[in-house]
């Protein structure tokens, strides 16, 4: 007579494989969620930076007739102010673009991103600077 009080080795291996697959899928989901949250945070910071620069453009930041790069200390972004058009009243439309930058000191390992190069546009804000009254 044979006792059937426990699990066979094959049943244990199948259960372990199912548990491992489930754990791997959960880890993948958690990792992709954390990556998406980090991306969203970076884009939020870039948008707030673009809004801040757009609010200062023409007041604390002078506007030019050509695209101007603004240095940003301590952040991995490059800010560019691009003039778009001048209205008949003299108001100037401009666009503030914030791009991600690959760090100068570290190798990113991302394809197409050498050290110190610009990345894609993370945020862009279009605004209008009122013409100064020259009376």
| 56's tokens | 């200062």
Q: Is the pLDDT of residue 44 over 60?
A: yes
| pLDDT score of 21 | 97
* Of 1 and 62, the one with more pLDDT: 62
Q: Is the model's pLDDT at 122 over the cut of 70?
A: yes
- Give 104 or 66, the one with higher predicted confidence: 66
The span from the CA of 76 to the CA of 103, in Å, is 7
112 pLDDT tier (thresholds 50, 70, 90): low
Burial class (CB in 10 A: 0-12, 13-18, 19+), 94: buried
């Amino acid at each position: 007579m044979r006792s059937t009080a426990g699990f066979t080795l094959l049943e244990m291996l199948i259960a372990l494989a199912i548990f491992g697959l489930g754990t791997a899928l959960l880890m993948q989901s958690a990792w992709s969620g954390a990556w998406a949250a980090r991306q969203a945070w970076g884009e939020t910071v870039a948008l707030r930076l673009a809004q801040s620069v757009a609010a200062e453009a023409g007041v604390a930041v002078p506007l030019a007739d050509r695209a101007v790069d603004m240095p940003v200390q301590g952040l991995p972004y490059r800010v560019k102010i691009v003039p778009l058009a001048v209205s008949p009243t003299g108001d100037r439309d401009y666009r503030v673009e914030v791009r991600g930058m690959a760090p100068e000191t570290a190798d990113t390992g991302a394809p197409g991103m050498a050290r110190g190069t610009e990345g894609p546009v993370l945020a862009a804000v279009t605004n209008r600077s009122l013409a100064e009254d020259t009376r």
